[in-house]
Amino acid sequence: MDLRRSSRIETLARLGFAARGLVYCLVGGLAVLAAIGVGGSTGGSRSALLVLLEQPFGAAILAAVGAGLVCFAAWRITSAVTDADGRGDGAKGRGVRALQAASGVVYLGLAGTAIGLAAGRGGGGGGEDQAAQDWTEWALAQPLGRWAIAAIGLGVVAGGLGYAWKAWRGDVVKRLSVPSDAMSWVTAVGRAGYAARAVTFVLIGGFLALAAWRADSEEVRGLGGALQALRAQPYGWVLLGLTAAGLFAFGLFGFVQARYRRIDAPDLDDARAALRKVV
């Protein structure tokens, strides 16, 4: 293996983890402010990007974030195809790798949103909930579309339950090379982050399954919709605040991953060959 060529993929992965971390910090921080009633928003990733755009040099920063998200998407897809994390070819391993590839596609779309906003396009529209509803409406019109949406929704719920189990067990640092004196707080931050992701994934997947059951794309919600659903419950500001704080924690955990995650990056040529087999 050419170490220099594999290190390029590792660099892309670390930039990607940092970019994802920043997005989660923005989403979580804004939602915390909304929960305590001092501004903020529960609009999800796209709203967070719009807030970033409004800052000094916002377009340049947003373009950099978009590039970082492209890096993260590329790493997730490459990792899924080459099994860079050593998940294996068993049923569980293939399932995890499929989720990695799917998340890569999602983050590629978010990267496109960030870059489009930085370039002055896409400032209006209905946001991520509307985009999800439009896609679901198209999918429901296809043969077996309801079954496909139901399967996706249940898969997202299963992913959320997996995150909950990960948070409960504290199994969040096994792929990190963290200094021993930082292990306790990194574990705490990671557990809070994965717990919050579990909540949002279960809600998003549940909305998808409900849309399939009712054959109604209007039931679908993205991350922002999930946060708004929490806020609408009794003592919703508490539920929203705790979940938002967890999402902010997951953003911080992303920066830890960018620095300390063990990344067994494949050689560029090996990665290209694996991708060609899939395509």
In this predicted structure, what is the pLDDT of residue 82?
Answer: 86
pLDDT tens readout for residues 76-110: 998 888 887 888 888 778 888 888 898 999 999 99
In this predicted structure, what is the pLDDT of residue 1?
Answer: 46
Mean per-residue pLDDT for 134-143?
90
Residue 36 to residue 249: CA distance in whole angstroms = 17
pLDDT tens readout for residues 37-89: 888 888 889 889 999 999 999 899 999 999 999 999 999 998 888 887 888 88
In this predicted structure, what is the pLDDT of residue 272?
Answer: 63
Q: What DSSP string runs through the chain?
A: --HHHHHHHHHHHHHHHHHHHHHHHHHHHHHHHHHHTSS-----HHHHHHHHHTSTTHHHHHHHHHHHHHHHHHHHHHHHHHTTT---SSHHHHHHHHHHHHHHHHHHHHHHHHHHHHTT---SS-HHHHHHHHHHHHHHTSTTHHHHHHHHHHHHHHHHHHHHHHHHHT---TTB---GGGHHHHHHHHHHHHHHHHHHHHHHHHHHHHHHHHT-GGG---HHHHHHHHHTSTTHHHHHHHHHHHHHHHHHHHHHHHHHB---PPPHHHHHHHHHHH-
pLDDT tens readout for residues 189-200: 999 999 999 999
Question: What mean pLDDT, rounded, does the chain reach?
Answer: 89
In this predicted structure, what is the pLDDT of residue 112?
Answer: 92
What is the model's pTM? 0.90
| pLDDT band, very low/low/confident/very high, at 8 (cuts 50, 70, 90) | confident
pLDDT over 50 (residue 3): no
pLDDT over 70 (residue 149): yes
In this predicted structure, what is the pLDDT of residue 9?
Answer: 84
Residue 147 to residue 213: CA distance in whole angstroms = 9
